[in-house]
Amino acid sequence: MAKPNVISKEALIQSAKTCIAENGLEKLTLQSVAKQANVTQGTVYYHFRTKENLMMEVVRHVCGSSWANVKNSLLPSSEKLKKALLSAKSRTKENADYHRLCLSLIVSSFQNERIKEQLSHLLQSENQCLTEELTRLWGKSPIDGVSLTTWGILVNALIDGLAIQALVYDDFSAEDVYLELEWILVRLTEKMM
């Protein structure tokens, strides 16, 4: 028997993440989330209205949790950056559904202006977080003429591009590439000291 329809959006997002982890992105539906949460499908529909809205909230939750872990850490900025890279690397293989989910939403955004706007805000937030950490770490750009804002965008684009390669290239060595990306950032940091 389904629970009364009093359930938080957060609990439904957790149920959606469980559905994705257990059954894959292809089998994610509002109905599967309702079944996982032991509520009616109408309850899930009330909170999200569409599968795309549900997917967007899952992406926002994963991204927000990851950045909150980094930002709230008491580690120095150089260690926070390493932590962010480790988190991103973990999502290339172990939690590849996150990036598959993001890419599905990107494709949806070509036809759905609202999803595009939400993804735009999410990317801007990620870029800003990276820019803030690089600013704390470097103080100024390691290369004259390249702003710290551009560095934040470039690092974010590198991370997203690496995730795409990990999704489509079976022999992609995330371990090596992320280690070398970390090395590049460390070398740039040393240049600033």
- Give CA–CA dist 6/46, Å, rounded: 11
Shared-domain flag, residues 36 and 61: no
Residue 100, pLDDT score:
82
Structural domain containing residue 23 = 1-49
Q: Which of 31, 49, 67 is the last residue of a domain?
A: 49
Residue 95, pLDDT score:
60
Shared-domain flag, residues 26 and 73: no
Shared-domain flag, residues 33 and 43: yes
Mean of per-residue pLDDT scores for the chain: 85
Closest among 76, 73, 99 to 169, alpha carbons compared: 99
Shared-domain flag, residues 66 and 79: yes
Task: Report the number of distinct structural domains present in the chain.
Answer: 2
Distance, CA of 23 to chain centre: 20
CB neighbour list of residue 184: distance below 8 Å, 6 or more residues apart: none
CATH number reported for the structural domain that contains residue 3 in this entry: 1.10.10.60
Structure token pair of residue 145: 């003429």
Angstrom CA distances, 38 to 5, 45, 53, 91, stand at 9, 14, 20, 28
Summarised one tens digit per residue, pLDDT across range 35-94 is 999 999 999 999 998 888 999 999 888 888 777 777 777 767 777 777 778 777 877 766
Shared-domain flag, residues 37 and 127: no
pTM: 0.80
Give the single-character DSSP code of 25.
Answer: G
The pairs formed by 22-28 with CB atoms below 8 angstroms and a separation of 24 or more are: 24/97, 25/97, 25/100, 25/101, 25/104, 28/54, 28/55
Residue 87: how many CB atoms within 10 A of its CB? 18
The pairs formed by 29-37 with CB atoms below 8 angstroms and a separation of 24 or more are: 30/54, 34/2, 37/3, 37/7, 37/11, 37/12
Q: Are 105 and 98 in contact (CB under 8 A)?
A: no
Shared-domain flag, residues 187 and 171: yes
Shared-domain flag, residues 60 and 127: yes
Shared-domain flag, residues 25 and 72: no
- Give CA–CA dist 188/138, Å, rounded: 8
- Give CA–CA dist 40/94, Å, rounded: 31
Residue 5, pLDDT score:
61
Summarised one tens digit per residue, pLDDT across range 6-34 is 789 999 999 998 998 888 888 889 999 99
Residue 1, pLDDT score:
42
- Give CA–CA dist 81/89, Å, rounded: 12
